[in-house]
Structures are given as C-alpha cells and as structure tokens.
C-alpha cells in the first residue's frame, strides 16, 4: 500500500485529470505481486470553479456535505479495483459542484464495515454521523467519526479518514490556509474583520476574536511551523447560534510562548491574552501538528 500511495502522489504532480492518474497507477499496480484488488479513491478539487472531479477504483463512495446541510454520496466515477485487468476505455470521472463551505469525507471500508450487518447499514450510519459534523474543524471531524462509528468491540480493520474543506467564506463559516509567514497576519485580520462585520457581532466581541485568532495564528506560524513558508497554517471559524468557534492548525508541536519575554518585554504575552479573552481554549496535539480551539460566547 505504501508503494501505491507513493505512486499516486508522484503521478498526481503531473496535473493530469483523475482518470489519467488512476489509469497510470493501475498500470503500475499490475507490476506489483500483491496489488491485485487494491482500491483507490482520487479526487481533484477546483476551488475557483467550486467543483470536484473524482474516480473510485473499487473504493467506498466519497461523502459530500454541502453548506445547506445536504449529505450525499458521490456515486459516479466508478471503475474496478486496481490490477484486475478490467479495461478503462469507456470510463469517465465523476464530477459535481463543491461550493465553498462544503465538507468532503473520504475513508477506508474499515470505518463502515461490520461482519454482522449489510454494507448499506454502514453507509447509513456514516451519513447520519457526518451530518452532525458539518460545522466542526476537520481534525475533529476525523476523530469524531472514528469514535462514533466504532463497533462495541472496536474497529476490526484498518481505518483511515480524510476530511477536506475548501478555503473561503460563507455567512456561517470562515476558512483560510496561509503560508507560515508573519506577513500574512494583517491580511487575515482584515478578512476576518470583514466577515465578522457581516455577522453583526458587537465591537468588543469582534475585537476579542480578531486579537485571539491573530495571536494564535502568530504562534502557529512562528513556533508551530518555524516560519517555514513551505508549510501552511489553517483557520476554520464557525458562527453558531450562541457561540463563534475558531480553530487554528499547524504542522508543529509548540506548547507555549517562546522565551522571547526574556529578550523583549512586549513579546510573549500572546497565549495569556488568548486565555483571558476567549471563553474556552483547548489545544490538541497530534503527531502531525497542533490544533488550538477557541470558543467565544455571542
């Protein structure tokens, strides 16, 4: 599986369409002794035109949740599993709208399969659980689904879940991904102020949110990603009836402000400000990065 993943990643760099990528991986898979009937889902998301093009080689259907709350499986773009010798000549990729504010979930069959029930029940259970995740940050989407869909005795097969949300704003969400460069802070703050202005929040709450998100973003850029502009930091903010919830995610493992206060008195107070102004602050550290969740009562 590692070799097939690597082959898919390299092939995708060509910028070819999903069917071409999967077709090339299929030819490579035919040379591997243990690749027969491996499955693959590959998708290309065009955030400019708000579309997704995808192919599933025997893999479970991707699940799309649109901003209006509609939950549906993407059932087109089906081809046989890899290395089965089946021709792809008449195959076409699936394509559909993926508007800003949508959530796409891709997963392995270990998430939904149970030996004592039909696969349809597993699909229904996933759709129901995913419908409650539409306004969760992507890291919590993954952990929530893994937890909620586990059988009483636990998962019996390998489980992988990938959740994706395109950048952009709606009247209920603000999503952005920026390089780990402190020069990005001013632009993000301006965009966030404009978005909050559309929510008609009071001036003090707007100030607190912009300040806390900015300080958390600065820590993620500087301490989480080490000012490495080849890495990125993401921001996901959701406006709910009684709260505004923000999550800042990076690829690092920072745990506190840097020792900068010993060098500059005006530095190093960021996290203390956040703790004082946000109604709730949680940091979630994983092997792949740090997620800081902020909650503000409206």
* DSSP structure string for the chain: -HHHHHHHHHHHTT---HHHHHHHHHHHHTTSTT-TT--EEEEEEETTTTEEEEEEESPPPPEEE-TT--EEE---SEEPPTTS----TT---EEEE--TT-EEEEE-GGGT--TTS-HHHHHHHHHHHHHTTTTS-HHHHHHHHHHHT--TT--SS---EEEE--SEE-SSEEEEEEES-GGGHHHHHHHHHHHHHTTT--HHHHHHHHHHHHHHHHHIIIIISTT-TTSEEEEEEEE-SSEEEEEEEESS---S--SGGGT-TTSS-HHHHHHHHSSEEEEEEETTEEEEEEEEE-
User: Rounded CA gap, 145 and 136, in Å?
Assistant: 11
- pLDDT for residue 260: 36
User: Rounded CA gap, 237 and 280, in Å?
Assistant: 14
User: Rounded CA gap, 130 and 63, in Å?
Assistant: 8
For the chain (298 residues), the mean pLDDT of every run of 10, in chain order, is 92 87 92 91 93 95 95 95 78 93 95 89 95 92 93 84 94 94 95 94 95 94 87 95 95 55 47 88 86 94
Q: CATH 3.60.40.10 residue ranges in the chain?
A: 2-164
- pLDDT for residue 273: 84
User: Rounded CA gap, 8 and 110, in Å?
Assistant: 21
- pLDDT for residue 268: 53
Q: CA geometry: angle at 180 spanning 174 and 181, to 5°?
A: 100
How, if at all, do strands 103-107 and 71-73 pair?
A: unpaired
Q: CATH 3.30.565.10 residue ranges in the chain?
A: 168-297
Task: Note if the pTM is more than 0.85.
Answer: yes
| 2-164 CATH, one of 3.60.150.10, 3.40.50.720, 1.10.10.10, 3.60.40.10 | 3.60.40.10
Nearest to 135 by CA among 247, 278, 42: 247
Nearest to 98 by CA among 175, 161, 40: 175
Buried b (16+ CB within 10 A) or exposed e, 251-267: bbebeebeeeeeeeeee
Query: Domain 168-297's class?
Result: alpha beta
- pLDDT for residue 255: 52
Are 149 and 202 a contacting pair, CB within 8 Å?
A: no
């Amino acid at each position: 599986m590692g070799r097939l993943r690597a082959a898919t990643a390299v092939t995708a760099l060509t910028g070819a369409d999903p069917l071409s990528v999967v077709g090339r991986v299929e030819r490579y898979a035919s040379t591997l002794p243990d690749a027969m009937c491996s499955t693959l889902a590959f998708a290309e998301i065009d955030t400019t035109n708000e579309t997704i093009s995808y192919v599933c080689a025997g893999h479970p259907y991707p699940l799309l949740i649109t901003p209006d709350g509609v939950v549906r499986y993407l059932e087109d773009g089906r081809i046989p599993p890899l290395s089965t010798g089946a021709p792809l000549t008449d195959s076409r990729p699936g394509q559909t709208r993926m508007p800003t504010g949508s959530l796409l979930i891709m997963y392995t069959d270990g998430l939904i399969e149970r030996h004592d029930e039909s696969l349809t029940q597993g699909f229904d259970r996933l759709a129901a659980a995913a419908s409650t995740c539409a306004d969760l940050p992507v890291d919590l989407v993954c952990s929530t689904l893994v937890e909620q869909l586990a059988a009483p005795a636990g998962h019996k097969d390998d489980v992988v879940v990938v959740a994706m949300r395109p950048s952009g704003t709606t009247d209920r969400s603000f999503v952005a991904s920026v390089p780990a460069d402190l020069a990005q802070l001013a632009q993000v703050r301006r965009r966030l102020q404009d978005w909050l202005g559309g929510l008609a929040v009071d001036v003090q709450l707007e100030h607190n949110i912009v300040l806390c998100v900015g300080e958390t973003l600065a820590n993620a850029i500087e301490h989480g990603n080490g000012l490495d502009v080849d890495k990125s930091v993401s921001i996901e903010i959701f406006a709910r009836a009684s709260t505004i919830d923000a999550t800042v995610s990076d690829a690092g493992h920072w745990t506190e402000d840097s020792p900068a206060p010993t060098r500059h008195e005006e530095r190093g107070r960021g996290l203390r400000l956040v703790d004082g102004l946000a109604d709730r602050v949680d940091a979630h550290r994983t092997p792949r990065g740090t997620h800081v969740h902020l909650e503000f009562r409206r």
